[in-house]
Structure formats: C-alpha cells, structure tokens
C-alpha cells in the first residue's frame, strides 16, 4: 500500500499573514463599530468609523507585513551572502562544518563527510542554507505575498461586521455585530486550524475568545465615554 504524506510547512508564510489579516479585520472593525455604537452615535457615524477603520487597517496591515517580512528577507540575504563568501574563501572549513552538523544528527563521521561532499558538490550554498542557517525554499520570506495576503484578508474580514451593521436595526446593532463577529472568528479559527493540520475546535475557541475580549473592552470604553459626553 502506497503511503503518501501531506505536509503543510509550505503554507506557513501565506497562512500566517492571511489569518492575521482576517482576524484583525473582524476584531478591529467589529470592536470599532461596537465602541462607537455604545457611545450612542448615529448609524452614519458608526458606518463612517467602520469604513475608515477598514481602509486604514488594510493599509497598515500591508505596510506592516511588507516592512517586517522585508527585514527578514534582508537578514536571510545577508546571511546567504556571508555564507557564499565563506565557501569561496575556505571551502574545506565549510565542508568540515557541514559534516559536523550531520555527525551531530547521528551519522557516522565517514558517512557524514561523504554526504557533505556530495551535497556541496551539487549545491554548496543550498546545503549550508538549509542545514546550517535554517533557510529553505518553502519558508523563506516573501514580503509582497505577505503584504497582499494581509491586506486582502483584512478587507474581507472587516467587511463582514460592516455589512451586519449596515443591514440590522439600530437597537440590535451591538448584539448582532458581536454575535456574528464571534461566529466569523470561530469559523476563521477553525478553517485556519484545518489548513494547518491542527485541532479545529481549539483553533475556533482560541480566536473567538480573544475577539470577544476585544469587543467587550471597546464596548465598555464606548459606553463610558458616551455617558460622559
């Protein structure tokens, strides 16, 4: 019987950015809407605040992801350049270093050296990138992809509570936005956990809990300042 394993490590980059974007879109926009609504604001002000939060949040997510992942990419490139120079200047040292890594992982000294020789003959920099530095093609930094994933999923996430706020009556706005957002968050957590091979229930509860906490705190702030005003 053929056994085929499905690994998910290649999804780490875009999955992290996408989940972060959608989660932040739902939580921040729903919290903003609930906070403004709790301050006895008009529906026009509530929707305006929600749209402004969507646009600002999407741009902030894109810029933040691009800058942070670009910094990671710059570090990876600097490490690779340093390693490439070291291989060119002292090949024998790098060969022994790589063999030492394999020996520490359990190979016999002679076998570790033979493996290191063959891998370095095939792709010396690639071998050191993977086994010495820890950089691989499946998890390397991709700033543009991360920025696009975060911004687009933030927008989709933020649209959900905005649509609910636009469609429901004013008296039920806070309750329905909160309940629907918690449902969206639970679904998001479950889907993300499923895509990553983790427990769907744990993922759903984890995301919903923090979303509920954020909405409760902003509702309290909005109520306090609304009363004071």
Same domain? 63 vs 86: no
Q: What is the pLDDT of residue 193?
A: 74
Same domain? 165 vs 207: yes
Same domain? 154 vs 129: no
Same domain? 180 vs 71: yes
In a domain, 1, yes or no: no
Q: What is the pLDDT of residue 4?
A: 47
In angstroms, rounded to a whole number, what is the distance separating the alpha carbons of residues 62 and 149? 8
Residue 163 pLDDT exceeds 60? yes
Give the pTM.
0.68
User: What are the Cα distances from residue 3, in Å, to 10, 80, 83, 116, 138?
Assistant: 20, 35, 37, 29, 22
Residue 195 pLDDT exceeds 90? no
Same domain? 15 vs 46: yes
For residues 132-154, give the mean pLDDT. 77
Q: Which residues 6+ apart lie within 8 Å of 203 measured at CB?
A: 189, 190, 192, 193, 194, 196
Same domain? 16 vs 117: no
Same domain? 36 vs 51: yes
Query: 153, 26 in Cβ contact below 8 A?
Result: no
pLDDT in tens, 104-116: 998 999 999 999 9
Q: What is the pLDDT of residue 89?
A: 93
pLDDT in tens, 21-31: 888 899 889 88
- For 168, which DSSP code? S
Show which of 133, 165, 199 is a domain's final residue: 133
Same domain? 121 vs 215: no
In a domain, 138, yes or no: no
* Domain of residue 129, residue span: 82-133
Same domain? 97 vs 158: no
Count of domains for the chain: 2
User: DSSP characters for 59-97?
Assistant: HHHHHHHHHHHHHHHHHHHHHHHHHHHHHHH-HHHHHHH
In a domain, 2, yes or no: no
Same domain? 168 vs 207: yes
């Amino acid at each position: 019987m053929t056994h085929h394993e499905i690994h998910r490590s290649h999804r780490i980059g875009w999955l992290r950015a996408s989940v972060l974007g959608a989660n932040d879109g739902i939580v921040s926009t729903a919290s903003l809407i609930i906070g403004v609504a709790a301050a006895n604001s008009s529906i026009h002000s509530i929707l305006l605040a929600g749209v402004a939060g969507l646009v600002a949040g999407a741009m902030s997510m894109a810029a933040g992801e691009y800058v942070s992942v670009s910094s990671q990419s710059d570090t990876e490139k600097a490490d690779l350049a340093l390693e490439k120079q070291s291989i060119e200047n002292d090949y024998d040292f790098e060969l022994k270093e790589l063999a030492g890594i394999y020996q520490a992982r359990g190979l016999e000294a002679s076998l570790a050296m033979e493996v290191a020789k063959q891998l370095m003959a095939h792709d010396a920099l690639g071998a050191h990138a993977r086994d010495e530095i820890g950089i691989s093609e499946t998890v390397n930094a991709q700033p543009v992809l991360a920025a696009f994933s975060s911004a687009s999923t933030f927008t989709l996430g933020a649209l959900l509570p905005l649509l609910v706020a636009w469609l429901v009556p004013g008296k039920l706005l806070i309750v329905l936005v909160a309940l629907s957002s918690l449902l969206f968050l639970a679904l998001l957590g479950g889907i993300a956990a499923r895509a990553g091979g983790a427990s769907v229930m744990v993922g759903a509860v984890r995301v919903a809990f923090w979303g509920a906490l954020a909405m409760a705190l902003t509702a309290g702030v909005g109520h306090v300042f609304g009363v004071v005003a």
